[in-house]
Chain A
């Protein structure tokens, strides 16, 4: 039982490059989220999904896209990376309701 798995764990990009972060969960959770963590700013929600085939914007969605074609996977895409997107990204899942979140280990992205 792996829980929430994020790949890759580390990535360095040049400005303008694109990439996709993959999140996979084996807990059958309905809700999935992508947060970014920056020093002094806590965690900010980028996009989220309340079920397979659904996505919605969070607090800071600009420059990112997401897809949830399968219930267990939630992909975060950066179309044209910018230095402001240098951050640690967390995939998070929840059963729903009065939810307790399960976090992945994080993906550290650096954009030069």
Chain B
């Protein structure tokens, strides 16, 4: 079985400050990890993924995420938040051995960046 947890329903940061959105996962094998962003009344958009290799993954819009196997975490980070980053963020996981390539999503974290 595979699962993912996003412990924070909402994260508030001031514009220009660094932001972190937390994600922890559970899989029986090796994980494929993803971050997606959702703007109002839209489908989700891909931000970044970890498959293998360097634990620090860089993605779209200046976001990055660090894979930590010992802590089973994949936190999303950005050095300097923008008001336009305000959105709903989803972490997702897939077990490498998952035959249907099915992703399991976390409950989402709403990021609010204030001017």
Determine chain B's interface SS by DSSP, over half rule: loop
Interface pair A98/B102, CB less than 8 Å apart:
no
Stretch touching chain A among B14-22, B38-46, B66-74, B78-86: B38-46
| A92 neighbours in B (Cβ, 8 Å) | 43
CA gap between A96 and B94 in the complex, in Å: 12
Shortest distance from the beta carbon of A6 to any chain B beta carbon, whole Å: 9
B100 at the A/B interface (Cβ < 8 Å)? yes
CA gap between A47 and B33 in the complex, in Å: 21
Interface size class of B (residues with CB under 8 A): 20 to 34
Given known A101-B36, A103-B44, contact A94–B107 (CB-CB < 8 A): no
CA gap between A48 and B44 in the complex, in Å: 17
Within 8 A of A (CB), among B57-115: 90, 94, 99-108
B8 at the A/B interface (Cβ < 8 Å)? no
| B101 neighbours in A (Cβ, 8 Å) | 31, 50, 94, 96-97, 99
Interface size class of A (residues with CB under 8 A): 20 to 34
| Most chain A beta-carbon neighbours within 10 Å: one of B6, B51, B90, B103 | B103
Given known A101-B44, A103-B43, contact A48–B100 (CB-CB < 8 A): yes
Listed by A's residue number, 24 A-B pairs whose Cβ atoms lie within 8 Å are: A40-B108, A42-B6, A42-B107, A42-B108, A43-B90, A45-B104, A48-B102, A50-B99, A50-B100, A56-B100, A58-B102, A92-B43, A94-B101, A96-B101, A98-B49, A98-B51, A99-B94, A100-B46, A100-B49, A101-B46, A103-B43, A105-B41, A106-B41, A106-B42
Q: List A residues at the B interface (Cβ < 8 Å).
A: 4, 31, 33, 35, 40-45, 48, 50, 56, 58-59, 90, 92, 94, 96-101, 103-106
Q: List B residues at the A interface (Cβ < 8 Å).
A: 6, 9, 32, 34, 36, 41-46, 49, 51, 90, 94, 99-108
